[in-house]
């Protein structure tokens, strides 16, 4: 019901954050605010699409359905908002309207090339780590020139290398008219800060601003929100500091804790009723998170029943643990008739999935590992690269990827001469091949600007030779061809957009896709994923595996750093609150990690939970572990 001025909504897990923002948008429109004056920003495409659907249904229900596409509330992720602003103002930034968005793999390739060009060894100076530092600095609203001018000790060799690599990296991006993932935010914030007329245009456009998952904002996202809301002061943020699990990626808990200081005359509302979980699950979650000091006190409650106790299973080793989880999931599916997609297995780190996958295969229970990425498949990336390099001829990464895909007899030596502007030194045969390839790119661009995306993709498959090459190949080749055809089907939804905009949106969605966006909704399979990937999701039955000291909580965090300790606890809190009906916690006495077998201590997180909420089921289950006899001996001892 709140309308004007800053508003902070502190919403606990399962308290209905998306519903709250959706109803607030409806209320604003019913009270005279034009829909096109409303902006809502969230973090994943999944969350943005869910909010769009809810708002659309609410407006139709209230007979406010005569809104055109241009008049709808503007609901985007932070990164897609950045793309929108940058494309509208591409001339100001001296970039192409069709600038390429590099994924992390592309960025790492460029950084590796730069490291080698500086006569450094990429095995010692890892491109991934260099990119990680650059990414975090950009998230902190720092440019390469800010970083270069920072005072350092003369012995800070690595920082000097990062600075040199970063400057060359930016030069390469500028030359290729490309932006990386972090530029979408950094350049947007810089543009709004430096160009007052552009800022005022968007302040006039979006008079009511909503930010979902505000606890996950970093410094540059905070800057964008502050700038856009600076004139009207109508900013509503929704979040839960107990679910901040991305500090390692630059998210600052201070943004939500200091909201009342940053935005004067703000109001704060607590949403403490949980509509998701049983009382026992919430009691465990409340007890765990109360140990954190960097939080505003709130206590989740529910009108749901108490529910079952939390099952605790002490496994001999990781095989025993995985077998217990797979057999229990099998029992839930076959005997209790629980749909497989209502079961999730969460773990702290990716390496834990291997034994789990093996156990699910052995038992015959369908499973899906979150993060199986359709758009990361080679054949799909090839088609996308054809489109990107046709629209942006300066984009060397994508040009290099497809100039010899399928094979055209254009090798590394030829490429080196092309990039060195020495094409005239090539043989007439090779020059003709290059000319034909460039002619193909021109045709692709022409079709991209006048035809629907699905027609464009069909043209690329046929005219590039990719389709012909795969048609007569192996079974694996035929599967790749099927994936290409699936891309045509996926593109149909973009065909409904105005010509030109559809292909822009397709490329944007591919570039900004997250792990959650890639999860197939209709797959009736048990979901396996890291706790980080589970944020925002919910399931009836949840297993949390590997609850051992130095695994969860991770040994990677500095135990003398209370902030890192609290983040690990928040991560466990997120894991607990994914469950609606039942939780299973497992840990092992022995685990092999990176080839070394070690004895484990039970995680402190388990001992944080009151005993009356937990039932130890270790003696009630028998698994197929090859170490079964060893386990019995261990338990007796």
**Contacts of 423 by beta carbon, 8 Å cutoff, 6+ apart:** 417, 431, 434
Among the options 213, 311, 342, 382, which is catalytic? 213
Q: How many CB atoms lie within 10 A of CB 533?
A: 20
Q: How many CB atoms lie within 10 A of CB 67?
A: 16
Output the six-digit token pair for 525: 């399979």
Among the options 17, 309, 480, 580, which is catalytic? 17
Question: DSSP of 75-135, one letter per residue?
Answer: EEEHHHHHHHHHHHTTTTTT--TT-EEE-HHHHHHHHHHHHHHTT--TTTS-HHHHHHHHH
From CA 52, how far away is CA 31, in angstroms rounded? 19
The dihedral sign for the CA sequence 215, 216, 222, 226: negative
Within its chain, how far is the Cα of 152 from the centroid?
Answer: 33
Strands 178-180 and 310-315: unpaired
Catalytic residue status for 18: yes
> Coil, strand, or helix at residue 49?
helix
414 in Cβ contact with 430 (< 8 Å)? yes
Catalytic residue status for 243: yes
Q: How many CB atoms lie within 10 A of CB 397?
A: 21
Match 């914030």 to its residue by tokens. Answer: 189
Among the options 217, 243, 389, 405, which is catalytic? 243
What separation in angstroms does the CA of 567 have from each of 363, 532, 549, 571? 35, 11, 15, 6
480 in Cβ contact with 382 (< 8 Å)? no
Among the options 138, 381, 388, 578, which is catalytic? 578
From CA 48, how far away is CA 21, in angstroms rounded? 11
482 in Cβ contact with 362 (< 8 Å)? no
Catalytic residue status for 17: yes
Catalytic residue status for 578: yes
Among the options 106, 180, 183, 212, which is catalytic? 212
Question: DSSP of 376-400, one letter per residue?
Answer: GSHHHHHHHHHHHHHH-TT-HHHHH
Residues with catalytic roles: 17-18, 212-213, 243, 578
């Amino acid at each position: 019901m709140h309308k004007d001025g800053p508003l902070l909504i502190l919403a606990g897990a399962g308290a209905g954050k998306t519903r709250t923002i959706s109803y607030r948008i409806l209320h604003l429109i019913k009270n005279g605010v034009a829909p096109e004056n409303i902006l809502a920003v969230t973090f994943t495409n999944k969350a943005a699409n869910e909010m769009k659907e809810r708002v659309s249904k609410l407006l139709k229900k209230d007979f406010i359905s005569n809104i055109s596409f241009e008049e709808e509330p503007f609901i985007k992720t932070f990164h897609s908002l950045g793309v929108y602003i940058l494309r509208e103002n591409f001339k100001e930034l001296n970039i192409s309207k069709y600038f390429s968005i590099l994924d992390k793999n592309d960025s790492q390739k460029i950084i590796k090339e730069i490291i080698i060009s500086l006569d450094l060894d990429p095995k010692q100076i890892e491109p991934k780590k260099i990119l990680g530092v650059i990414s975090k600095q950009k998230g902190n609203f720092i440019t390469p020139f800010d970083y270069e001018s920072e005072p350092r000790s003369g012995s800070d060799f690595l920082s000097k290398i990062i600075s040199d690599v970063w400057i060359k990296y930016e030069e390469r991006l500028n030359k290729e008219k490309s932006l990386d993932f972090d530029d979408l935010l950094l350049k947007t914030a810089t543009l709004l800060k430096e160009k007052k007329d552009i800022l005022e245009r968007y302040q006039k456009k979006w008079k009511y601003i909503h930010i979902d998952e505000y606890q996950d904002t970093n410094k540059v996202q905070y800057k964008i929100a502050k700038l856009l809301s600076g004139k009207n002061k109508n900013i509503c943020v929704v979040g839960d500091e107990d679910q901040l699990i991305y500090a390692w990626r630059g998210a600052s808990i201070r943004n939500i804790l200091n909201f009342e200081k940053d935005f004067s005359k703000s109001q704060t509302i607590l949403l403490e009723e949980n509509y998701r979980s049983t009382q026992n699950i919430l009691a465990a979650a409340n007890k765990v998170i109360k140990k954190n000091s960097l939080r505003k006190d709130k206590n989740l409650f529910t009108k749901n029943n108490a529910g079952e106790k939390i099952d605790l299973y002490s496994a001999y080793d990781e095989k025993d643990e995985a077998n217990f989880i797979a057999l229990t999931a099998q029992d839930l599916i076959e005997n209790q008739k629980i749909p497989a997609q209502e079961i999730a297995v969460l773990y702290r780190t990716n390496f834990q999935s291997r034994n789990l996958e093996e156990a699910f295969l052995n038992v015959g229970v369908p499973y899906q590992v979150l993060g199986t990425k359709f758009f990361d498949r080679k054949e799909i990336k090839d088609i996308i690269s054809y489109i990107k390099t046709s629209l942006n001829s300066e984009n060397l990464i994508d040009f290099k990827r497809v100039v010899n895909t399928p094979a055209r007899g254009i090798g590394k030596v030829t490429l080196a001469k092309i990039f060195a502007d020495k094409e005239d030194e090539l043989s007439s045969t090779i020059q003709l091949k290059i000319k034909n390839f460039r002619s193909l790119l021109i045709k692709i661009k022409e079709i991209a600007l006048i035809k629907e995306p699905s027609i464009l993709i069909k043209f690329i498959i046929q005219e590039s030779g990719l389709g012909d090459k795969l048609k007569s190949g192996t079974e694996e080749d035929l599967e790749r061809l099927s994936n290409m055809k699936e891309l045509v089907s996926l593109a149909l939804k973009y065909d409904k957009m105005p010509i030109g905009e559809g292909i822009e949106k397709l490329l944007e969605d591919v570039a900004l896709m997250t792990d959650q966006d890639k999860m197939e909704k209709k797959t009736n399979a048990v979901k396996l994923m890291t706790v980080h990937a589970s944020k925002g999701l919910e399931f009836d039955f949840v297993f949390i595996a590997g609850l051992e000291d130095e695994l969860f909580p991770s040994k990677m965090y500095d135990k003398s750093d209370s902030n890192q300790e609290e983040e690990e606890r928040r991560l466990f809190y997120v894991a607990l609150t994914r469950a609606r009906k039942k939780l299973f916690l497992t840990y092992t006495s022995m685990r092999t990690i990176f080839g070394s077998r070690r004895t484990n201590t039970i995680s402190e997180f388990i001992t944080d939970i009151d005993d009356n909420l937990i039932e130890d089921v270790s003696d009630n289950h028998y698994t197929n572990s090859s170490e079964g006899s060893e386990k019995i001996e261990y338990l007796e001892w």
